[in-house]
Amino acid sequence: MKIIVVGAGKVGYSLAQRLIQDEHDVYIIEKSKERIYTLKTTLDVNIVQGNGASLSLLQEIGMDDVGMLIAVTDSDEVNMLACAIAKIGGIPKTIARIRDNDYLTKENELIHEQLGVDLFINPEMVTAQELFQILETPAALDVEDFAKGAVRLMEFKVRDDLPILGEPLKNIQFPGSVLVVGILRGGEMIIPHGESCLYPNDSVFFLGSTEGIEELESTLFVESRTLVNRVCIVGASLIGRNLTKLLEKAGYKVKVIEKDMARCEQLAMEVTDAMVICGDGTDADLLVAEEISDCDVMICLTNDDKLNLLVALLGKHLGIPKTLVRVGRPEYITLMEQVGIDVVFSPRLLTSGEILRFVRKGEGLISISTFEGAKAEAVEIKISPTSPVVGKALKDVKLPGKGLVGAIVRDNKTIVPTGATVVFEGDHIIIFTLPEFVNKLLKYLQ
């Protein structure tokens, strides 16, 4: 599909990478000469310098065969205008990146329809909601639900004292509706088989029924299930403010540390119970004075990757059990995890993942989730009547690339499949795979 991306900032660049990987014909519109130079040297895309909200520029590119326009500049107003003009020009689908929550209120829904924007994406809210879900499942490094909550995928860190270490997976009796679908070891994602073993510091991905995953968590990872109640957030950016409000509403006790007085005053007016502290998160004396060591988790959300790492390590030194760190450069994710950070996340990868869900909807995709800095993806697909896998046992299906069917939902029942399991029309299947194979899987299955 021919797709126009307006804006080549961090989100636009990451999105273009993923779209190219999915074999789309990508055009990028960008004003900055510096960003255009970077694009020319790193990405194989069509580059147009100019204003993405210009009808004449869009007509110059040619809109007749464009399937979608995605506007992700730093300006909400430019993004909405670009989408409106694209719709006037006949582009069928549009997505706008919006950072101001006021544009997303119910009062503005009529305006959304009139503008012709099919999807508003708020990177800061997407990230805040992802962090909130992780805090709600304290034993996990990551969690995603599929099939309207019937299927859950959770990522756990393997402890040194886990009784199943070194044992082939085929010999381990997990709950009946749970399967190991991925192992992250030394920065490499492994799609496991029966002879695969778990070792200390592996990150292991379990997929199965929600009940089975909860049983697994309460038995095998029970020592990691310390409930999170007290949260320290360093950085009152948009992500920090959104997350603070979500946590406060859910009953968490929140302390926020921010150097900028204006941000502190703004957040203080938006919350009632959260404590807002104006100070430097790297100041050990401040952290001790504010009794930050009593917190269950520290979340570092400044725009400085190195500062976030420093503050998180300082929090670990003071005795905070769990640390979550925001990174702007996804290539730092593996490095930070290796030095002891529990969860490292990239807002731009989370945002590009959300946009890709929408882009792929027309290909039979129900849901898609990205893990460990886009090292793996889990996709939920509804099997159509014309799919080549209908009526076949999984052992007779040769999926392109590396992937594992971890669950099948049929008539609201979750099945952890074996080689003898037969696929039927209407089944929802959840596959754990590597990103470079997602597009081929979708084409093959549908």
Residue 206: per-residue pLDDT: 93
Residue 393: per-residue pLDDT: 94
Neighbours of 39 (CB within 10 A): 20
Residue 139: per-residue pLDDT: 73
Neighbours of 92 (CB within 10 A): 12
Residue 363: per-residue pLDDT: 55
Separation of CA 42 from chain center:
24
Per the structure block, which two tokens stand in for 36? 């255009």
Domains of the chain, first to last: 2-121 (3.40.50.720), 133-221 (3.30.70.1450), 230-320 (3.40.50.720), 365-445 (3.30.70.1450)
Residue 122: per-residue pLDDT: 92
Nearest to 414 by CA among 198, 150, 165, 205: 150
**How many angstroms separate the Cα of 368 from the Cα of each of 104, 130, 292, 386?**
23, 14, 36, 22
Residue 446: per-residue pLDDT: 75
Q: Is 264 in contact with 236 (CB distance < 8 Å)? A: yes
Residues 6+ apart with CB under 8 A from 128: 239, 242, 243, 246
Q: Is 31 in contact with 117 (CB distance < 8 Å)? A: no
Burial 305-326 (b: 16+ CB within 10 A, else e): bebbbebbbbbbebebebbbbb
Rounded to two decimals, what is the model's pTM?
Answer: 0.82
Residue 224: per-residue pLDDT: 52
**How many angstroms separate the Cα of 389 from the Cα of each of 308, 382, 429?**
47, 12, 11
Q: List per-residue pLDDT tens for the chain, 446 residues long.
A: 899 999 999 899 989 988 988 889 999 999 998 899 888 888 888 999 999 989 899 998 988 899 999 999 999 999 999 999 999 999 999 999 998 887 777 666 777 777 888 989 999 999 999 999 888 887 778 888 998 889 999 998 888 888 889 999 999 888 778 999 999 988 889 999 989 999 988 999 999 999 998 888 888 776 554 577 999 999 999 999 999 999 999 999 999 999 999 999 999 999 999 999 999 999 999 999 999 999 999 999 999 999 999 999 999 999 999 999 999 888 888 889 888 898 999 998 888 888 888 887 755 678 888 887 778 999 899 998 999 999 999 999 988 888 899 999 998 899 989 889 999 999 999 999 998 888 888 888 87
* Three-class DSSP labels, the chain: CEEEEECCCHHHHHHHHHHHHCCCEEEEEECCHHHHHHHHHHCCCEEEECCCCCHHHHHHHCCCCEEEEEECCCCHHHHHHHHHHHHHCCCCEEEEECCCHHHHCHHHHHHHHHHCCCEEECHHHHHHHHHHHHHHCCCCCEEEEEHHHCEEEEEEECCCCCCCCCCCHHHCCCCCCEEEEEEEECCEEECCCCCCCCCCCCEEEEEEEHHHHHHHHHHCCHHHCCCCCEEEEECCCHHHHHHHHHHHHCCCEEEEEECCHHHHHHHHHHCCCCEEEECCCCCHHHHHHCCHHHCCEEEECCCCHHHHHHHHHHHHHCCCCEEEEECCCHHHHHHHHHCCCCEEECHHHHHHHHHHHHHHHHHCEEEEEEECCCCEEEEEEECCCCCCCCCCEHHHCCCCCCEEEEEEEECCEEECCCCCCECCCCCEEEEEECHHHHHHHHHHHC
